[in-house]
């Protein structure tokens, strides 16, 4: 069927417009140079420190252009820029840039690191959160309900001026990169909330709320850092990295999300039930969740776990625990956790010397295998060429040693032969000497014969 008249030109025109908009995103991102150091304090800046040769930086570039467009369209006071950290290394060093790409929000004398996923929405959410006030007031119940719907984890200070509020502000300035902080009066809170005393710090999550208790929970900063995650998570590599700051053990059901078999869904349900029903027992020491697939966990543990299974990770020292029998019920999982807490469960892995050597060997092997899988020709060139050169050098050295031994042997043999000829003389000389003796004896006999003949006469 023939295309409708004008449809194809319109499609081409639309594609050209889209390409132009995406390309023009670079116009909303400022290229920064050495003058940025003196001028930056007048504004709030979201900066990407990159290296031209960095593959991750090139992958981030179109996302960064989209961030620039979105921030400009929404009227944000945050300016978006990028700086070549290899050309302006002294400025990058002052901001603590140690890898590429590094994303920072610069606000006055403060620099906030972004450690989240490199997606447009996550980066924009980070910028808006950090650029705004540390403590956001909730003046009404309607505002409280609106904010609670938008945020899965919500920290709220309730009360007037107090040392606790000063500490709350201090913690907010440190952890604003991870979560929001709010304040409210007691009459703004939902009716189901009851507070034993004021002032108080609360966290709303998992459909309920928990009140900070200095005597049971310890330091407020540590408590906020532990409670900023939901009780149950979909765990990936980035989440595990963040959970390392909490000091918690991470209990994970390693499953295949696409597999709807009873075994996969059962282990996931067991972890969810323990996280919900045993929160008061384990929430200070454990984080619960599930992970889709075993590729990442196998590389992390340098082991080959078959799924579905359950593993408990200690992200602080790289140890891990595996159940010694099948987890059939919530009670089995609770017993396994208690064994870990009382030290009867066997810990594997760790960060000792042998494990570090094993990690180096494992990473090298994984790198070689991945290179050959992705590009066999490149793998042969990178690894085959050096091995070939080394083999030729070894062959040359060994061959040179063998030829040297042959030459030395022949030289020694010749020298020995010369020595024998010098001591005994040649065969011709010996023969002439022998003939000379025979000649001398014959002349004597002739003389004696002449004498005997004369006497006879």
Q: Would you give the DSSP letter of residue 307? A: S
Q: Residue 362 corresponds to which tokens in the numbers above?
A: 């494992």
- For the chain, the structural domain boundaries read 30-131, 136-228, 232-351
Among all chains, which residue has been given the structure tokens 């010397």?
A: 353
| pTM for this predicted structure | 0.69
pLDDT at 20: 46
Instruction: Based on the residue annotation, tell me whether 398 is a catalytic residue of this protein.
Output: no
pLDDT at 90: 87
Which long-range contacts link 326-335 to residues 24+ away (Cβ below 8 Å)?
Answer: 327/267, 327/270, 329/270, 330/270, 330/273, 330/274, 330/277, 332/270, 333/251, 333/270, 333/271, 333/274, 334/274, 334/278
Burial of residue 199, with CB atoms counted within 10 A of its CB: 0-12 exposed, 13-18 middle, 19 or more buried: middle
101-105, 242-246, 261-265, 330-334 — which is least confidently predicted? 242-246
Give yes or no on whether 30-131 and 232-351 have one common fold: yes
Could you tell me if 124 and 163 are in contact, meaning their C-beta atoms sit under 8 angstroms apart? no
Closest residue by Cα to residue 250 from 304, 177, 310: 310
CATH number of 30-131: 3.40.30.10
CATH number of 136-228: 3.40.30.10
Q: How many CB atoms lie within 10 A of CB 146?
A: 11
CATH number of 232-351: 3.40.30.10
Q: What is the mean pLDDT of the chain?
A: 81
Please tell me whether residue 107 adopts helix, strand or coil conformation: strand
Among all chains, which residue has been given the structure tokens 């939902």?
A: 190
pLDDT at 303: 77
Residues 14-41, mean pLDDT to the nearest whole number: 66
Residue 33 has pLDDT above 50, yes or no: yes
Closest residue by Cα to residue 339 from 262, 234, 251, 452: 251
**CA 446 to mean position of chain CA atoms:** 113
26-35, 159-168, 239-248, 436-445 — which is least confidently predicted? 436-445
Could you tell me if 169 and 209 are in contact, meaning their C-beta atoms sit under 8 angstroms apart? no
> Residue 134 and residue 129: Cα distance in Å, rounded?
8
Q: DSSP string spanning 188-253?
A: GS-TT---SSSSEEEEEETTEEEE--HHHH--HHHHHHHHTS-SEEE--HHHHHHHTTTT-EEEEE
Share of the chain above pLDDT 90, in %: 40
pLDDT at 66: 94
Q: Residue 134 corresponds to which tokens in the numbers above?
A: 């540390």
Q: How many CB atoms lie within 10 A of CB 248?
A: 22
Of 11, 57, 380, 398, catalytic: 57
Instruction: Based on the residue annotation, tell me whether 57 is a catalytic residue of this protein.
Output: yes
Of 54, 380, 394, 398, catalytic: 54
Could you tell me if 130 and 107 are in contact, meaning their C-beta atoms sit under 8 angstroms apart? yes
pLDDT at 446: 52
Q: In what order do the strands lie in the sheet with 30-31?
A: 30-31, 78-84, 44-50, 102-107, 110-113
Residues 230-244, mean pLDDT to the nearest whole number: 87
pLDDT at 62: 93
Q: DSSP string spanning 396-444?
A: HHHHHHHHHHHHHHHHHHHHHHHHHHHHH--HHHHHHHHHHHHHHHHHH
pLDDT at 144: 93
pLDDT at 307: 85
């Amino acid at each position: 069927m023939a295309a409708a008249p004008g449809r194809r030109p319109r499609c081409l025109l639309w594609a050209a417009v889209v390409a132009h908009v995406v390309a023009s995103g670079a116009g909303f991102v400022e290229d920064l140079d050495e003058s940025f150091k003196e001028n930056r304090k007048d504004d709030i800046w979201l900066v990407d420190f990159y290296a031209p040769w960095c593959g991750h930086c090139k992958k981030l570039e179109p996302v960064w252009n989209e961030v620039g467009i979105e921030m400009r369209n929404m009227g944000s006071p945050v300016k978006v820029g990028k700086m070549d950290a290899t050309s302006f290394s002294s400025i990058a060093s002052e901001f603590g840039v140690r890898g590429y790409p590094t994303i920072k929000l610069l606000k006055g004398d403060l620099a906030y690191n972004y450690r989240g996923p490199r997606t447009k929405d996550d980066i924009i959410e980070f910028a808006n959160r950090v650029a705004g006030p540390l403590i956001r007031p909730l003046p009404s119940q309607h505002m409280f309900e609106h904010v609670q719907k938008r945020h899965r984890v919500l920290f709220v200070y309730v009360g007037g001026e107090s040392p606790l509020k000063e500490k709350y502000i201090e913690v907010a300035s440190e952890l604003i990169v991870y979560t929001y902080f709010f304040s409210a009066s007691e009459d703004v809170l939902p009716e189901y909330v009851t507070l034993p005393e004021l002032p108080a710090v609360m966290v709303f999550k998992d459909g309920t709320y928990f009140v900070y208790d200095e005597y049971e929970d310890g330091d407020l900063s540590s408590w906020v850092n532990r409670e900023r995650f939901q009780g149950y998570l979909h765990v990936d590599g980035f989440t595990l990295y963040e959970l390392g700051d909490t000091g918690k053990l991470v209990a994970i059901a390693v499953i295949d999300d696409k597999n709807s078999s009873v075994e996969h869904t059962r282990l996931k349900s067991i972890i969810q039930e323990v996280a919900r029903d045993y929160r008061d027992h384990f929430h200070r020491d454990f984080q619960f969740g599930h992970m889709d697939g075993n590729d990442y966990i196998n590389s992390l543990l340098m082991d080959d776990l078959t799924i579905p299974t359950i593993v408990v990770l200690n992200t602080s020292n790289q140890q891990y625990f595996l159940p010694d029998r099948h987890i059939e019920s919530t009670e089995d999982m609770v017993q396994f956790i208690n064994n870990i807490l009382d030290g009867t469960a066997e810990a594997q892995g760790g960060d000792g010397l042998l494990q570090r050597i094993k990690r180096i060997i494992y990473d090298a092997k994984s790198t070689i295998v991945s290179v050959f899988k992705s590009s066999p020709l490149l793998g042969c060139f990178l690894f085959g060429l050096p091995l070939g050169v080394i083999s030729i050098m070894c062959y040359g050295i060994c061959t040179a040693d063998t030829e040297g031994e042959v030459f030395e042997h022949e030289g020694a043999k010749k020298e020995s032969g010369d020595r024998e000829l010098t001591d005994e003389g040649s065969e011709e000389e010996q023969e002439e000497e022998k003939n000379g003796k025979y000649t001398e004896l014959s002349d004597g006999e002739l003389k004696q014969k002449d004498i005997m003949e004369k006497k006879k006469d």
